[in-house]
Amino acid sequence: MTLSIIPAPVSPLRQRLIDDMEMRRFSSETQRNYIRDIGRFATFLGRPPDMATAEDLRRFQVEQQESGVPVPTMNSIVSALRFFFTQTLDRPDLARKLVRVAHPRKLPVVLSRDEVARLLGATTCLKHQAALAVAYGAGLRVAEVSALRVRDVDSERMLLRVERGKGGQYRNAMLSTDLLALLRQWWKLGHQQGVMHRDGWLFPGQHYLKPLSTRQIYRVVVEAALAADITKRVGPHTLRHSFATHLLEDGIDIRIIQVLLGHAKLDTTAFYTKVATRTMRAVTSPFDKLALAAPVGASPGG
């Protein structure tokens, strides 16, 4: 006798939250994270989260800090709770009680152009090479690469249509001539293999009806870096960091890079100036313009 498993009913409050996120076109990953984080608060509270008070929020954040929850995780939970109290409950007074914790942002890992070429060359199949080439060549986030469909490649306007980027935003990404040529190679091969369809995913997973997952893309990057003898700790986002940094080093205006990356704030893009080493090398130090002569008789040891 086979017993069917009946899924637990979704509470009206949780459904309201889901509807609010769907209306704003949040990605499935963001929705999953928000539901998890709000559930974490409800567990701490011991009652439905819509019954929380300002004192409950204060105690929750104090408990998180004392238990050693990492700062990025704490701030992610704050984002989820702010959305919940502001949009779903219409309680902005409670949202204002949540405190984001300041923490120094680490400099991103950036590959040299040679390392990028080695990484792409170390992939084991054309599909993986094309997926990583899109991450670097168009500066896309890993979730954006995964969600691309064949129809998103606009060869006439030389654009990639990113339909649901971060925060559900739509934008166009650049499509270079060489990248288009590589994607056409992959289309031809994938079509021959029966996994590529005009209305299907640009990078299908093990089954052509599902896309290559972000976890699979991460694994491809790590394995390719290992095969290419790249010792830096890399992931799919490293290719996006490298795209932005290399453009900056080539003298591309930072506001153009902001648009290409889909950043809402220029400050986010400006962070790459800290790792653009070629840009720093191109600057002449004011000390070099002093033309100071070395002291007569001075030895290297002083």
pLDDT at 8: 54
pLDDT at 1: 44
Low-confidence ranges of the chain (pLDDT < 70): 1-9, 164-169, 275, 277-285, 287-289, 291-302
What Cα–Cα distance (Å) separates residue 17 from each residue in 58, 181, 249, 260? 22, 43, 43, 31
Q: Which CATH superfamily is domain 12-95 in?
A: Tyrosine recombinase, N-terminal domain (1.10.150.130)
Query: In angstroms, rounded to a whole number, what is the distance separating the alpha carbons of residues 270 and 258?
Result: 9
Catalytic residue among 97, 127, 141, 241: 141
191 catalytic? Reply is no
Catalytic residue among 263, 274, 281, 289: 263
233 catalytic? Reply is no
Q: What are the φ/ψ torsions at residue 174 (nearest 5 degrees)?
A: -75, 150
263 catalytic? Reply is yes
Question: What pLDDT, in 10s, does the model give residues 51-95?
Answer: 999 999 999 999 998 888 888 889 999 999 999 999 999 999 999
Q: Domain boundaries in the chain? A: 12-95, 113-281
141 catalytic? Reply is yes
**Three-class SS state of 159:** strand
DSSP letter, residue 107? P
Catalytic residue among 40, 240, 241, 246: 240
CATH 3.90.1150.10 given to domain 113-281? no
What Cα–Cα distance (Å) separates residue 136 from each residue in 66, 124, 175, 243? 40, 17, 11, 5
24 catalytic? Reply is no
In the sheet that 159-162 helps form, which strands lie side by side, from edge to edge? Answer: 153-154, 159-162, 171-174
Residues in the chain, overall count: 302
pLDDT at 30: 87
166 catalytic? Reply is yes
- Report how far Cα 119 is from the mean position of its chain's Cα atoms: 19
Q: Please tell me the pTM assigned to this model.
A: 0.68
Catalytic residue among 166, 184, 198, 246: 166
Question: What pLDDT, in 10s, does the model give residues 206-231?
Answer: 888 889 999 999 999 999 999 999 99
Query: In angstroms, rounded to a whole number, what is the distance separating the alpha carbons of residues 299 and 302?
Result: 5
